[in-house]
Structure 1
Amino acid sequence: MVNNTIITGIRIPWELVFWIAVIPAILLISPQEAAHFSLCPLSAVGWDWCPGCGLGRGMKLITMGHFKEAMILHPLSGFAWLVIIHRIYSLLKNFKTNYTYG
């Protein structure tokens, strides 16, 4: 299969590993810092506005209980958490029943 790597007979669901790793990465974000690490290609080329800017920091604020501030940073912060949790649940459920994912 294209999406699974077989290492000594064990299939590794890389998408599931990625989405689970996203959670601690978001929890390590410091939303109060003025300068922060960004993977944004628009920020890298010097554009001031990006449709995704503030999403990670907003998601971190939601985990801290600062819902109003999170919605100011990015209105889809809560929805992003729902999408990530739903995708992890779907991948785990599919992997558990079929030993595949996707």
Structure 2
Amino acid sequence: MGRANTGAVQRANYRLYLPEAFMWLVGLIVLALMQPDIEHLFSFCPFSYLLEWCPGCGLGHAIAWLARGEFAKSWEAHPLGAPAVLVLGGRCLQLLRLHFNYKQTTRK
């Protein structure tokens, strides 16, 4: 009985692998393409509206500076910019690997 449920869960999760990978990749690309040296007028961050402080503030700028090869400016914007890119890039690779491995095992 447990194996049947596991298969159903895998099938349900399989449908989400590509959309999640696509979402993370698009997010990273959008952040990399933004202009980090200009002031931004709008923020999606609820912390910045409620508390006027956010532990993630500067993370988008750090990723944008990192995409331009400005490592010192990236570090100044937020020290976790490079680790965030590595973690999200690794998650995308993991999701793509899971997608294609599941696809190959179901063909057999």
Which stretch shifts more, 74-83 or 21-30? 21-30
Asked if the contact 2:75/2:81 (under 8 Å) is kept, the reply is yes
Return closer, same or farther for 1:33/1:67 CA change in 2, 3 Å cut-off: same
Kindly indicate which of the two structures has a greater share of residues assigned to helix. 2
Give % identity: 30
| Counterpart check, 1:85 vs 2:96 | no
Structure 2 gap ranges (5+): 1-11, 104-108
**Structure of higher RCO (CA pairs closer than 8 Å, 6+ residues apart):** 2
- How far has the Cα of 1:23 moved from its partner? 2.3
What is the match of residue 9 of structure 1? none
Instruction: Report the structure number with the largest CA radius of gyration.
Output: 2
TM-score (norm 1): 0.78
Seen in structure 2, the aligned counterparts of structure 1 residues 71 and 49 have a Cα distance that, compared at 3 Å, is same
Whether the aligned pair in 1 keeps the contact of 2:32 and 2:65 (CA below 8 Å) is: no
CA distance in 1, matches of 2:59, 2:97: 27
- Is residue 39 of structure 1 aligned with residue 50 of structure 2? no
Given residue 97 of structure 2, which amino acid in structure 1 is its aligned partner?
A: K
Q: Which residue does the alignment assign to 2:15?
A: 4
Point out 4+ residue stretches in structure 1 off by more than 3 angstroms.
none
Root-mean-square deviation (CA, aligned residues, Å) is 1.9
Unpaired runs of at least 5, structure 1: 6-11
Normalising to structure 2: TM-score of the pair?
0.75
